[in-house]
């Protein structure tokens, strides 16, 4: 049976770096899609879609993450890693205090994952860029919303300790049963 593993956390915690390391080790990974949505919106004249039209952004993100989940089921691999999961969408909506349709929760309960690895805020590695507009304090708040959202969905959360990319990746792999 395929195991679906989410690597989540606030912005700038090293999620994509870990996903890249897992890909180097030949694991199947579903990469983060929010940057793609942001860049597409920019091409169409909207600088920060998440800030200007958060509900539209989250709907595109939810659709994309559900599609990734469905796509993962077509893979022959026993392990599939996700750079963020479906519940991240409503965790972010809670963070910015915007109401969203009940279908967000319905989809989070319908498409379940086997493991949730939470990357803690880590100021030493935190970098802002054109797609990541949050400061470190906002990243801390997002972390708390993510943790609460996954707990509310009855997930067991495994926090990934700080360390080198190899140490963190090995920690994740060693915690899979």
Query: Would you say residue 103 has pLDDT above 90?
Result: yes
Least confident interval from 125-129, 133-137, 140-144? 125-129
Q: Average pLDDT in the 132-144 region? A: 76
> What is the crossing angle of helices 136-152 and 87-95, to 10°?
130
> Structurally, how many domains does the chain consist of?
1
Q: Average pLDDT in the 11-30 region? A: 93
Burial of 137 (0-12, 13-18, 19+ CB in 10 A): exposed
pLDDT of 129 = 53
Question: Tell me, what CATH number does 108's domain have?
Answer: 3.40.50.300
| pTM, entire model | 0.89
pLDDT band at 121 (very low <50, low <70, confident <90, very high): confident
Domain extent at residue 58: 3-174
* Spatial distance between the Cα atoms of 93 and 90, rounded to a whole number of angstroms: 5
Q: Both tokens of residue 58? A: 């989250």
Query: Would you say residue 142 has pLDDT above 60?
Result: yes
Query: Would you say residue 127 has pLDDT above 70?
Result: no
């Amino acid at each position: 049976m395929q195991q679906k593993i989410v690597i989540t956390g606030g912005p700038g915690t090293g999620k994509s770096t870990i996903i890249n390391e897992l890909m180097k080790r030949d694991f199947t990974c579903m990469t983060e899609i929010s940057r793609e949505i942001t860049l597409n919106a920019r091409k169409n004249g909207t600088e920060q879609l998440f800030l200007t039209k958060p509900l539209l952004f989250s709907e595109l993100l939810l659709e994309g993450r559900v599609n990734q989940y469905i796509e993962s089921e077509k893979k022959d691999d026993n392990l599939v890693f996700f750079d963020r999961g479906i519940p991240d969408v409503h965790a972010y909506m809670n963070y910015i205090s915007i109401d969203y349709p009940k279908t967000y929760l319905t989809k989070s309960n319908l498409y379940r994952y086997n493991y949730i690895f939470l990357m803690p805020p880590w100021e030493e590695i935190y970098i802002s860029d054109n797609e990541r507009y949050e400061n470190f304090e906002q990243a801390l708040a997002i972390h708390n919303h993510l943790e609460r959202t996954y707990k509310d969905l009855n997930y067991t959360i495994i926090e990934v300790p700080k360390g080198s990319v190899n140490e963190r990746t090995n920690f994740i792999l060693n915690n899979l049963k």
